[in-house]
């Protein structure tokens, strides 16, 4: 059965966006994030190691859902599927990506930054989008305005988000979760300081839970 991207995003406090330079580090990194409460992970296809990283996580880490990001075309899409990706994230929305998505069971989270891109996605039966690049596209204020006419669209903003500005996005009704690379800082990964990554994930989950509880009890 097709995994619903909306269901996936609803239960993810945030989605770590991970660029892997050594696929051997993928498993301990995924375990560290999962231990900290983050079990939906996006591995971006920007390095030669990324597909092996996805395969390794699928084979060796229980309890996580792993997807591929930076999927730019049909070839990337099928390579990501073959590696075991459970969902696909694209930075933009193209006709060829829509065609590929329609032919597969794999859930897709396409990137949009304009009303026209959003309308194209909605016309093709999609209702859940990545707002990208979030901060440089105007941040939470821009997303609030963009989403106004599209009451059924929901978003995962990504790009320039951190613990310093996450509250601006989670305050919006149209935001299900956010994505970002801040959960796996290069220095901690290089030092293989998995405990520090777990602590960062825990801190993030705590902050998200507090924000969600505050917005449910204003
Ligand atoms: C990306 O695809 O680069 C993501 O949006 C991550 O952005 P960030 O590094 O600003 O979190």
pLDDT of amino acid 1: 59
Q: Inform me whether the pLDDT recorded for 218 exceeds 70.
A: no
pLDDT of amino acid 176: 97
Ligand 1: residues with CB < 6 A are 17, 44, 69, 132, 158-161, 180-182
Beta-strand relationship, 40-44 and 107-112 = unpaired
The parent domain of residue 33 ranges over: 5-216
Instruction: Label each residue of 52-67 as H, E or C.
Output: HHHHHHHHHCCCCEEE
- CA dihedral (150, 155, 157, 162) positive or negative: positive
H or E stretch at 130: strand 128-131
pLDDT in tens, 147-184: 999 999 999 999 999 999 999 999 999 999 999 999 99
* Residue 2 pLDDT class (50, 70, 90 cuts): low
pLDDT in tens, 20-62: 999 999 999 999 999 999 999 999 999 999 999 999 999 999 9
**Whole-structure pTM value:** 0.95
Q: List the catalytic residue out of 31, 42, 86, 135.
A: 42
pLDDT of amino acid 42: 98
CB 38 within 8 A of CB 18: no
CA 167 – CA 76 distance, rounded (Å): 33
CATH of the domain at 68: 3.20.20.70
**Is 130 one of the catalytic residues?**
yes
Find the 166 Cα to ligand 1 centroid distance in Å.
Answer: 13
CB 197 within 8 A of CB 32: yes
Neighbours of 152 (CB within 10 A): 9
pLDDT of amino acid 214: 81
Find the 103 Cα to ligand 1 centroid distance in Å.
Answer: 27
Residue identifier of the C-alpha nearest atom 3 of ligand 1 = 159
- Kindly state the average pLDDT of the residues 59-84: 96
Beta-strand relationship, 65-69 and 154-157 = unpaired
For residue 218, how far is the Cα from the chain centroid?
27
Residue 154: both structure tokens together: 């929901």
pLDDT of amino acid 206: 97
pLDDT of amino acid 212: 86
Q: For residue 170, give the nearest of 89, 96, 44, 162 by alpha carbon.
A: 162
pLDDT in tens, 86-125: 999 999 999 999 999 899 989 999 999 999 999 999 999 9
pLDDT of amino acid 77: 96
**Is 105 one of the catalytic residues?**
no
Strand partners, 55: none
* Residue 215 pLDDT class (50, 70, 90 cuts): confident
Find the 109 Cα to ligand 1 centroid distance in Å.
Answer: 14
Number of domain units in the chain: 1
Find the 185 Cα to ligand 1 centroid distance in Å.
Answer: 12
Residue 187: both structure tokens together: 């220095």
CB 20 within 8 A of CB 53: yes
């Amino acid at each position: 059965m097709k995994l619903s991207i909306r269901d996936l995003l609803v239960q993810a406090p945030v989605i770590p966006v991970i660029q892997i330079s050594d696929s051997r580090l993928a498993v301990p990194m995924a375990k560290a994030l999962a231990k900290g409460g983050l079990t939906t992970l996006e591995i971006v296809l920007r390095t030669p190691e990324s597909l092996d990283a996805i395969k390794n996580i699928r084979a060796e880490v229980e309890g996580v859902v792993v997807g591929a990001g930076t999927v730019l075309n049909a070839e990337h899409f099928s390579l990501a599927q073959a590696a075991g990706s459970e969902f696909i994230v694209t930075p933009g929305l193209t006709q060829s990506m829509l065609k590929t998505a329609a032919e597969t069971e794999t859930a897709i989270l396409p990137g949009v930054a304009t009303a026209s891109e959003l309308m194209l996605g909605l016309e093709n039966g999609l209702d859940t989008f990545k707002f990208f690049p979030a901060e440089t596209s105007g941040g939470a204020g821009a997303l609030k305005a963009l989403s106004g006419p599209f009451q059924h669209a929901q978003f995962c903003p990504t790009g320039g988000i951190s613990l310093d500005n996450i509250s601006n996005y989670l305050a919006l009704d149209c935001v299900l979760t956010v994505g970002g690379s801040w959960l796996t800082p290069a220095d901690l990964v290089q030092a293989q300081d998995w405990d520090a990554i777990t602590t960062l994930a825990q801190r993030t989950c705590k902050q998200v839970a507090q924000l969600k509880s505050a917005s449910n009890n204003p």
